[in-house]
Structure 1
């Protein structure tokens, strides 16, 4: 598992939490507000795991996609934060921590701040059960309470907790938890995307199709980090089955020369990947994602 030690907060655990939306310009004020922030549903987050580069849509990006498509906000499809007491095993708690993190992003972006705070408290409870709550300072909890109604502040402050939690996980080599939290967040983001795709939303359909590489690499990460109980259990079997369905999804790649900026030492990748789902594949993928998610939150 040593190859995972180089994974940083914003490239791994941060993929499934609140601070992983893309910003063109970002200013943080003393009270935790984010200013001049542009949220873009088309941008992609990349993570490097064991030398492999893959992308995952962030919860914020997924919520933006839904909001931009004029799909009504629907709290009823979410996992009730009151269910937090139902999760008694380490694996259940880690997976649902990822799910609740995504739902906190969704409710925050739709300005449902009271429910966003409830999801934060569910995350806090699960973190306590997983013995990573020590990363959460009392002052941060107080600031979260005083910023109810301020969407940007809730997003920023929630991310601060996950950054501290990730430091704890890495220092204590809890890579199994990090991978499960990542998986839970991806499953919930995919679930929300699937609900949109099921209404005929083309952007959501394309986003769902583009998860072909992600699900393959996600399964590899879980198999190399999660415990035997998880890897031999129903959730992993279902993820493997979903991965096999995705293998048949059509994928075309168009190469374009990358652009390198020597001053900033950055490279812009201009090549494009396109994924196409048939109607049958779409229906199958949506049904499988719903079953996986249902088995986790029950």
Structure 2
């Protein structure tokens, strides 16, 4: 059982790697390097207008302009200890973050304007790790530890009572809504290895979607609702409930209805590579971070 996940950073973190921000063309497999960073960067989101990527680095959010290939920090107020679980609202007016509170170091979910501003607390209970925002803009989906177990919960964006959607042995993580809002995709160790699952938005109909000899993490549904991208660790390289950095991993793609996956790319990465949805608005590209040892 995991007891600590995705610890955020406030100072410059050095994992002994160079961070490489890339995009990948789903049709051709072509990879394009956008920029290299000496500091650790993680988890790019693509904005709905296709012009920017939002990533985290050193506890803060940054906006990367795709045309000029330049980065600028986003003012997140007191939330200066954010991890790689940030998600944009459907209309891109807001961004939700998982921030480690100063008083106890525990991750809680906050919402703030994407243009910058003071965060508003959504989940008083901790630890809570954000992953999904419903297409109607009303609900957040997240992984949280309650009663010594990590399960999937939802909560209104404006705050309120959280709803538990999973309650099975093992770790359930990475919940993300389908574009039509009918389903939540997630990953779970309930069958042994970490595999991709899908359930109805209310928690019903929990269905295993991959059966592979690998540990599969963080399913991301394409905006056109046709495909699901995820990260695969080699069996034996990691414990099923762990997703560490600095591993050889694959980015895989599967049809929305399930079935055989195909490998899009092999790279050195894992934690930080693609924790949150990073599809381009036209569903033709993925943004991700690979790493290179110094």
Whether the TM-score (by the shorter chain) exceeds 0.5 is no
More helix by share: 1
RCO higher in structure (CA 8 A, sep ≥6): 1
More strand by share: 2
Give the TM-score taking structure 2 as reference length. Answer: 0.27
Give the TM-score taking structure 1 as reference length. Answer: 0.27
Larger radius of gyration: 1
